[in-house]
Amino acid sequence: MEQHLGNAFNTWALLYLSGLAAASLFFAMAGFREVKENIFEGLLFLALAVFFACAHIFLLFNTTPASYFSQAGAPLNLWGWLVLFLAPALVGLYLLFGLFNFISARSKEGMIKIFFGLTLVCYLYLLGSHWPIDVKGILTLTWGGIWFNVELKTAL
């Protein structure tokens, strides 16, 4: 049983870590939005964001030696973390929220979010595949700030 779980974490570590980062971002955004509206259930959302961030950090530091990080050779720094984990989380959040808004008759907001998600994919993985890691990290930070700004403004 333990060996099977170890293999799953080795194979799916990037997906798990990106999913935990996405969950943390989602609950942080929802918590900030609710606290801004003076709804105190937002504190529960912020606590969930902290929980998912702690789970992300725990899993990040407890990956096995046969995982992706030891095979990459270089130690993971802030820029690498932004590109490896936060960027796929942001792309997923942009696309999922965009599709949800598009389906729920808010097509203008949905198209904007889908556009931003696809442009981040294009910049990081198509056009900028040979760009330095710090440029990709700065783009990820910029798109993360845009995501929080767009979600907090279009929440109503």
Tell me the pLDDT tens digit for each residue of 90-145.
999 999 999 998 898 888 888 988 999 999 999 988 888 888 989 999 999 999 99
Whether 66 and 81 map to the same domain: the answer is no
pLDDT band at 155 (very low <50, low <70, confident <90, very high): low
What CA–CA distances, in Å, run from 137 to 89, 128, 153, 155?
13, 11, 24, 27
Domain with 149 in it: 77-156
Residues 46, 1 share a domain: yes
For 49-78, write each residue's pLDDT tens digit: 999 999 998 888 877 555 555 555 456 788
Q: Are residues 12 and 46 in the same domain?
A: yes
Looking up tokens 């889908």 gives 114
Q: Are residues 64 and 93 in the same domain?
A: no
Q: What's this model's pTM, rounded to 2 decimal places? A: 0.81
End-of-domain residue from the set 73, 90, 116? 73
Tell me the C-alpha distance between 128 and 16, whole Å.
Answer: 25
